Amino acid sequence: MQARGPLMIEHRLIEQMLNVIQNALKRVEKTQSIDPYFVDTAVDFIRVYADRTHHGKEEDILFRDLRKKHLSSEDQRLMDELIEDHVIARNTTKALVEANMRYRNGNGAALGEVTALLKTLIDFYPIHIKKEDEVFFPASRAYFSEEEDQAMLAEFWDFDRKMIHEKYKAMVKTFGTR
């Protein structure tokens, strides 16, 4: 397997979660309500899986290694755009958490903001994923030897093994400071 393989597999799960969110939004149209705990779960998926696990491998490993290479101006521009995309996703998710909290606390008007932010993520990720799967990942592969690619793949697996511990250490630390 090439190093981009796990990233593309992760994209498929992200797409499945986007479908789950889309179905929840269809129910909102009928019921004019959303389960704030579902939104919390969607946020957890986006933050832990899509952002920290998936984007983490891209930013902390793939992009780090690409910064050591002489990228074409087009590949550099696209990598910068992808990094900005990650920031947009994080900011959208942060706004979603805030809107969901207002909704949970009885502000019915926040429902529109919650649904709009979920829709933003549903619209955003497929475009982002397509840029990576069809353009950036194939182009970036050319910068690495087979040995470098396999070393990156091994580092991806190691990154994944540490994720569950990172998540729950942070949780304990958060609760320990209250």
Secondary structure in 3-state letters for 64-87: HHHHCCCCCHHHHHHHHHHHHHHH
Tokens at 140, concatenated: 């970036």
- CA 140/CA 4 separation, integer angstroms: 9
Give every residue of the chain whose pLDDT is below 50, as ranges: none
Number of compact structural domains in the chain: 1
What's the CATH number where 39 sits?
A: 1.20.120.520
- Quote the pTM value: 0.92
What is the per-residue pLDDT for 163?
Answer: 83
Tokens at 30, concatenated: 């009928």
Supply the range of the domain harboring residue 149: 4-176
Residue in the structure block whose two tokens are 């269809």: 26
What is the per-residue pLDDT for 85?
Answer: 98
Contact yes or no for 89/121 (Cβ under 8 A) = yes
Contact yes or no for 143/69 (Cβ under 8 A) = yes
What confidence tens digit (pLDDT) does each residue in 54-100 have? 999 999 999 999 999 999 999 999 999 999 999 999 999 999 999 99
What is the per-residue pLDDT for 54?
Answer: 96
- CA 129/CA 141 separation, integer angstroms: 16
What is the per-residue pLDDT for 96?
Answer: 98
What is the per-residue pLDDT for 178?
Answer: 66
